[in-house]
Chain A
Amino acid sequence: MKKSPFSFIHVYLISLKNALSERMVYRGDFFISSVIALLFEFVVPMITLLIYSSGSSFPGWTMNEALLIQAIFLLAKGIAFPFFFGIVFNILILIREGSFDILLLKPRSILFLSIATAIDINSMGKLLGGIGFFVFIITRFPSIGPAQWAAFGGLFLLSLSVFFSFALFLSGTLFVWVGNSRMWEIFNTFTLFGMYPQSIYSQPVQILITTAIPVALLASLPASVLLGKEPVYLLPAGIVAGVLLCAGILFWHGMLRRYTSAGG
């Protein structure tokens, strides 16, 4: 039976409510975790601040421009982590315990359920921080026109789609690489490339981060467009993001077929 979109929204909202109720049992830990999750995200901007205050810079980028990249990254992460990136941790736990079967029994898309049951309330701090940081930095650039905003909007959606693709690849891998909690480390290492201006990298690395693993789309390219800078490899990056999303969905379902229920 085909389900209406409203039924999916209904299930998602119930999951959101459940996640919040569950987290409220340990309120103290919840508040500390939320604040800490946010503070952690400010480590990279703080490094940028220290670099610029020591009299150095990223060539061709002012401090506020560099911070804008990191604000966009935090904003995208602030949307991705609470609302769909929790799928990685969810799959990690469920597969390790062998309890992923419970989701398989339910009458909804398994990918949807894996996301809906993985809402990460702690990461709401990232979202609030991302919005606050972005608004704070963007007010330093009053002359951004509507066309730049429109282009930025499109690229920001692509940034979210890259986050989603990564979530699919990482969580899909966990169907066979059971219980590997170091998936975040892999993710954090790769995405670090996306938190700094693309121009600081060598030509081969720039090609790699736009046309192979498009981490430049996470923040660097949207920031370039917003600031009216000339973005490089924008079109290939956009195409790769679309291909990556399709490949991610296929990969995830392909790996799902290898699920054995055995735990690990």
Chain B
Amino acid sequence: MGVVTPGFQGRARSGNPRLPPGQYLAEDFPVLSAGPTPRVRTETWEFTVTTETGEKHAWSWSELTALPSEKFTVDIHCVTQWSKLDTRWRGVPVDTLVGGLDTAADYVMAHSYGGYTTNLPLADLLDGQAWIVYEYGGKPLTPEHGGPARLLVPHLYFWKSAKWVRGLELKTRDEPGFWENVGYHDYGDPWREQRYQGD
């Protein structure tokens, strides 16, 4: 136990088993990002997957949205301590985009319009664990929340769910992305409170 601050009691604990440690329930949907919100037009939007050998696969907006999509409901957890339960999304599973590729990569760097990057193990994006989503709550995803499309990896802290995603780069080596480079955790498991490097 850490050093006790006299008189501090804290709030009544929620005891909600769906809340990871240190998280509170948000009713609204806070917005956090490192810079201005890019406005990306679907007419020129393109999503690419690049393998470690440089082989590139690209989808236009109409091609991506023509792929079989899934509607699903998940909880999301932001490193700034809010969590939101039962959020509803629609998108294309990453399996559909990456599954058939010939790759030996273990890692992925997600790239966004606007320059943001974040790194993840490839295994965390497969087997129905991650999607490229374009609808939230039954409506097109708004620019503040990463529209037209964002990566969604609900089992990791939300900074891994890159907004305005434009591509996935498969890599044989793990390299830090934007926040990981300034001290955030490489993996970011909310249940283990992996906020910063060394957690």
Q: Do A and B come from one complex?
A: no
User: Chain B: residues with CB nearer than 8 A to chain A?
Assistant: none
A residues sitting closer than 8 Å to B (CB atoms) are: none
